[in-house]
Structure 1
Amino acid sequence: MMSTATAPVLSYSPLALSVPGRPVDLEVRVTAPETGTALPVVLFSHGHGPSNNLSSLNGYAPLVNRWAADGFVVVQPTHLTSRTLAHLVADAPGAPYFWRSRAEDMSHILDRLDVIENVVPLLAGRIDRTRVAVAGHSFGGFTASLLLGARVTDPDTGEEVRLVEPRITAGVLLAAPGRGDVINGPMGGALPVFRSLDFTTMTAPALVVAGDEDDSRHFTDMGPAWHADPYTLGPGPKSLLTLFGAGHALGGIPGYDVAETTDENPARVAAVARLTAAYLRSALHPGDGAWPAACDALANDVDPVGRVDAK
C-alpha cells in the first residue's frame, strides 16, 4: 500500500529518555513535517497486538506519516508492554501489562519536550507545547482514555486511580476497550483493571473510532457496540466514527501491508488517516474547518466508509 502522506516528513528514532525507576529507558520515535512552525503534538500509544515489533515505536506508520504530513509532531513511545522488551522487563513491577506505566510514559514525554525538540534534527523552535492531543489503538486506546479523564480502580489496592493529563486537550480512541461492567470473557481475568473502566469522568473532547465488525469476544459478548462506549458513556463533546465492515485493526492501521490484519483494506486505512487528521486539526486549531468539511464529505459520499455521530 502506498503512503497517504501529502508532504515530506522526517522521522527520528530511537530517542532514549531516562526515567527514574523505569526498568529501561523510555524510547520514542518522533515524526514531524519537513517544514512549518508552531506545530501541535500528538502522543500515540501503541496496542498489544500479535506482532513482535509493530506494538512499539516502529508501528502505525499509515497514521503517523499522514498526521505528520498534516502538520503535527507525532511522538510514539515503546511502552513496557511491547514484545520488543519482554526479555528485559518480565520481572519488573506491573508486568506483564504495565497499565499504569503506559499512561505515565506520556506524561514523561511531555515533561521532556524541550529535550526532544533539541535532540531531533531540524525540530528546534517548531513545537507548540500548548496544543497537545493523545491517540491510541486498542490497549493504547485504554491508555489514551485514562489520560483524557477516564477512571479505574487499582485491582491490587482497591483505590480509585485518575491519571488525567491536563496538558492534553483532545484525543482519538481507535478500537478502544469499552466499559468494564460488561466484561465476561477470559481477558477479564488477565486484565482485571479493565473491569472498572468508567468513562463518565472522561470530559475531554475526543473522537472515538470503532469498527462495526469488531467483536471482541475475549473481553465481552456485548459485540462491536462495546468499542463505542467511550463515546456513548463519555460526556460531550465527543464524536463517533463508525467504520463499515471494519474489524479490530480498522483495515490495517498498525502498519503497511500487515498480513495478520483480518480486515485488510488499504482504502479504509487511508480514510481513517485522513479523517483522524481532520479531527486533530480542528481539535487543536480552534476555528479550523477541516473536521466539519470531512464530515460533510463523508455524509455526501455515495459509498461511504462509515458514518459520524456527535454530541
Structure 2
Amino acid sequence: MPDSPTANAPKPAAAPTPVISAKPVVLPAPGRGEDLQVRVSAPATGTDLPVVVFSHGFGWSMDGYAPLADHWAAHGFVVVQPTHLDSRTLGIPADDPRTPRIWRIRIEDLTRVLDGLDILEAAVPGLAGRVDHDRIAVAGHSWGAQTASTLLGARILGADCVPGEDMSDPRVKAGVLFALTGLGDDLTPFAREHLPFMRPSFDTMTPPSLIVAGDSDRSHLSTRGPDWFTDPYTYSPGSKSLLTLFGAEHSLGGIPGYEVAETTDESPARVALIQQLTTAFLHSALCPEDTGWKTAAAALDDDPGPLGTLQSK
C-alpha cells in the first residue's frame, strides 16, 4: 500500500516552474539501425539552464520516469531522455544482430545526445539560447545507471580482468545513479554467461556522483544482497555520496512512473525525498556556490523519522 502523508514528508525547496516538452525529437544515427528518438523537457522560463541526460532502465523509453524528469525540469533543468534500442516501444526481437551490442549502443546514444544538444535545443519552442552547455550531468536507473556511469569513467572489465575502453566524456560534470549494479565478481552463473558487460570497474569514476540504493533491493543477477548496490560508492574515488533508502526495492518507491505495475514498493514519500535530494545535489554539483545540497543533507540527518541515510566522502 502507498505510504500515507506524514509530517516528515519532504517539501520542495522552491515552487516549481511550468514545464515545456517536445517529443519525439529525432537525432540522425547512421549505423544504429534507426534514428535516435528523444524527449526534451525544460522550464518555460529561465536562462543558463543546466542539462541532465537520463538513461532509462531495461525496456523503458523516453516516456518513463516522469517523477524524476518532470520534477527536475520544473526546478531548473533541461532533461533529455533518449529511447534506447531495448525499449519495449521498439519491439526489437532478442535475436536481432544488434542485441549483443545494445549495452554499447546505449552509451553511444548518450554521447549522441551530447553531440546534438544544439539540435535538441532548437526543437523545443522557446528554448533556444537558454541552455548552458558547460553544465551537464548524466543520470540513469538500473541498466541506465550502468550506461550513465561509463560517461563518468566506469569501465568494463574483460575476461582477463583488464579494464576495457575508456568511454568517459569530459563534458559530463556529475552524475546521479539509481540502483546501479555492483561488482561483477558476484554475478550469478546466468549473468556471467549472458551479460558479460556487467563487470564494471569504478576505479576511474571520478566526477561527483550521488549513488541511490535501496536496502531491500535484491537482484536475481547477483549472489549478494542489497549491499551489492553500494559497490559504486565503496569502490569509486573522488567526491561521492550514497543515499540508502529504508525498505526500498529496485523501483526505489516508484521512480519509473506513477502507478507503474512493476513497482513493488510504492512510496510517494520516498519518491518525494528522492526528488528533493537529487535536485539539490544536481544544482550544487553543477554550480559549486549553491549550498542547497548541504542544507538538504543536514535536514535528512536531523529528521527524527528519516526514510533513509546519507553518507559522503
Question: Same fold, TM exceeding 0.5?
Answer: yes
What are the equivalent positions in structure 2 for 1:1-311 lying under 5 Å apart?
6-48=16-58, 55-87=60-92, 91-93=96-98, 95=99, 98-153=102-157, 160-194=164-198, 196-216=199-219, 218-311=220-313
1: distance between equivalents of 2:122 and 2:140? 26
List per-residue Cα deviations over 1:176-214 (Å, max 9, x = no partner): 1111122125233221111x3111111111000000000
SS at structure 2 position matched to 1:261: coil
- Of all paired residues, the percent bearing the same amino acid is 56
Q: Which amino acid aligns with 1:198?
A: S
**Contact conserved, 1:23 with 1:92, CA < 8 A, in 2?**
no
**Contact conserved, 2:86 with 2:92, CA < 8 A, in 1?**
no
List per-residue Cα deviations over 1:82-110 (Å, max 9, x = no partner): 121123785243x0561111111111111
**Contact conserved, 1:23 with 1:89, CA < 8 A, in 2?**
no
**Contact conserved, 1:200 with 1:234, CA < 8 A, in 2?**
yes
TM-score (normalised: structure 2):
0.91
- Residue matched to 1:52: none
Any stretches of 5+ residues in structure 2 without a counterpart? Answer: 3-11
2: distance between equivalents of 1:268 and 1:308? 14
Q: Which amino acid aligns with 2:48?
A: A
- Residue matched to 2:5: none
* Structure 1 position 119, deviation (Å): 1.6
* Structure 1 position 223, deviation (Å): 0.7
* Structure 1 position 160, deviation (Å): 1.5
- Residue matched to 2:8: none
TM-score (normalised: structure 1):
0.92
SS at structure 1 position matched to 2:91: helix
**Contact conserved, 2:140 with 2:177, CA < 8 A, in 1?**
yes
Any stretches of 5+ residues in structure 1 without a counterpart? Answer: 50-54
Aligned positions, number: 300
**Contact conserved, 1:81 with 1:96, CA < 8 A, in 2?**
no
List per-residue Cα deviations over 1:40-84 (Å, max 9, x = no partner): 0000000015xxxxx100000001111011100000000111121
List per-residue Cα deviations over 1:226-276 (Å, max 9, x = no partner): 111110000021000000110000001000111321101111111111110
* Structure 1 position 171, deviation (Å): 0.1
2: distance between equivalents of 1:13 and 1:122? 15
